[in-house]
Structure 1
Amino acid sequence: MNILITILLILAGLIVLLLVIGLFSRKDYAISREVVINKPVPVVFDYVKYLKNQENYFKYVMMDPGMKKEFVGTDATPGFKYHWDSEHKSVGKGSQEIKQIVNNERIDYEVVFIKPFEGVLHSSLYTNAAGADSTKVTWTAASRMKYPMNLMLLFMNMDKMIGKDFDESLQNLKKVLEK
């Protein structure tokens, strides 16, 4: 009986310690990846500004071709919203909205996740000339995890985890545009 009480007290102490650590741990994370595409900026930008084109290069959209999709508004314009709902555990349910477009320079998005977890991600795609006929595409994302979920950041490298998916998606984009 004393051993059981000791184990429970140790577990309770560890949980309290983790919760206290979570109060002072970082809550924000950011990711950035880039690729050079051998096409001029206007060609690349004209393709990436359409959210519907993500079906051809974005890993998570390509994971579940049968997911339910709903589009609201005019694609490639601020306010256009894309809702998705998938049974695939890595895709889940949420929406992505174009918040701002600066022609041939950047597109800002807000991504709202509902399943498998709730959260908001702010993402941008930047296009910059990398030469006469090439474009550097930079994809950034930043988010904030609420307490106590931010404890996951102590054990997970979000840049590494999500960054590899951005790398794969950018390589897909390169292949599509350089055909």
Structure 2
Amino acid sequence: MKKFLKILLAIVAILIIVMLLMGKAYHFEKSIIINAPVEKVYTQINSTKAINQWNPWMKLDPNLKVTYSGNPGQIGDKYCWEGNDEVGSGCQEITALVPNQKQSTKIIFFKPFESDATSNIILTPEGNSTKVTWDMDCELDYPMNLMKLFMDGKMDKSYGDGLNALKAISEK
């Protein structure tokens, strides 16, 4: 029994050290080159309805409930969602738009746990193509920050699926 307790205490101590060393901040970004001019790509990111045409999380719940508010294509354009355990619930609102360059949003998650994040989609012309960089920043409280150990793989897949869908729509 004493050996078991020592092992358990060692595991807990290691997790606490890892948690503290990792910190709360989390940043993820992914890029893709789209064979379309920046103006065409921008029309796919400048409103929440346009974003949701390629948003990878929209496919995870066929019964997802979405409500829109604000003026499409303007700061304050917002949507809220409520779905299954895989997509949870929350709201995303456009906080900045720079035509043909950038879109920024604030995301508030209610379920499966409360959190908030910021996200940017940055467009960079590259000849007749456009480099699209999609990022997200958030803070994860202790001990939730241990999730960062598993998030990059999940985020890479989700962002990759979304960017590939954006590419397909923009290149039509």
| Structure-2-length-normalised TM-score | 0.89
- Per-residue CA deviations over 1:114-140 (Å, capped at 9, x if unaligned) read 111221121100111111x32111111
**Deviation of residue 25 (structure 1)?**
2.7
Question: What is the alpha-carbon distance in structure 2 between the residues aligned to residue 152 and residue 85 of structure 1?
Answer: 22
User: SS of the residue aligned with 2:105?
Assistant: strand
Question: What is the alpha-carbon distance in structure 2 between the residues aligned to residue 65 and residue 51 of structure 1?
Answer: 18
Pick the aligned partner of 2:42 from 34, 40, 45.
45
**Deviation of residue 19 (structure 1)?**
2.9
Question: What is the alpha-carbon distance in structure 2 between the residues aligned to residue 47 and residue 145 of structure 1?
Answer: 30
Overall identity of the aligned pairs, in %: 33
User: SS of the residue aligned with 2:44?
Assistant: helix
Question: What is the alpha-carbon distance in structure 1 between the residues aligned to residue 35 and residue 14 of structure 2?
Answer: 52
Structure 1: tracts of 5 or more residues without a match: none
In structure 2, what is the equivalent of residue 142 of structure 1? Answer: 137
Check 1:10–1:108 CA distance in 2 against 1; reply closer, same or farther (3 A cut). same
- Per-residue CA deviations over 1:76-107 (Å, capped at 9, x if unaligned) read 111122100002x2211011010111111100
**Deviation of residue 6 (structure 1)?**
4.7
The one-letter code matched in structure 2 to 1:38 is N
The one-letter code matched in structure 1 to 2:91 is S
**Deviation of residue 48 (structure 1)?**
1.3
In structure 2, what is the equivalent of residue 174 of structure 1? Answer: 167
Pick the aligned partner of 1:97 from 90, 93, 98.
93
Instruction: Tell me the matched-pair count.
Output: 172
Question: What is the alpha-carbon distance in structure 2 between the residues aligned to residue 120 and residue 53 of structure 1?
Answer: 22
Question: What is the alpha-carbon distance in structure 2 between the residues aligned to residue 161 and residue 143 of structure 1?
Answer: 15
Question: What is the alpha-carbon distance in structure 2 between the residues aligned to residue 163 and residue 18 of structure 1?
Answer: 25
What are the residue-to-residue correspondences of 1:14-163 with 2, within 5 Å? Answer: 14-87=11-84, 89-131=85-127, 133-153=128-148, 155-156=149-150, 158-163=151-156
**Deviation of residue 8 (structure 1)?**
4.0
Structure 2: tracts of 5 or more residues without a match: none
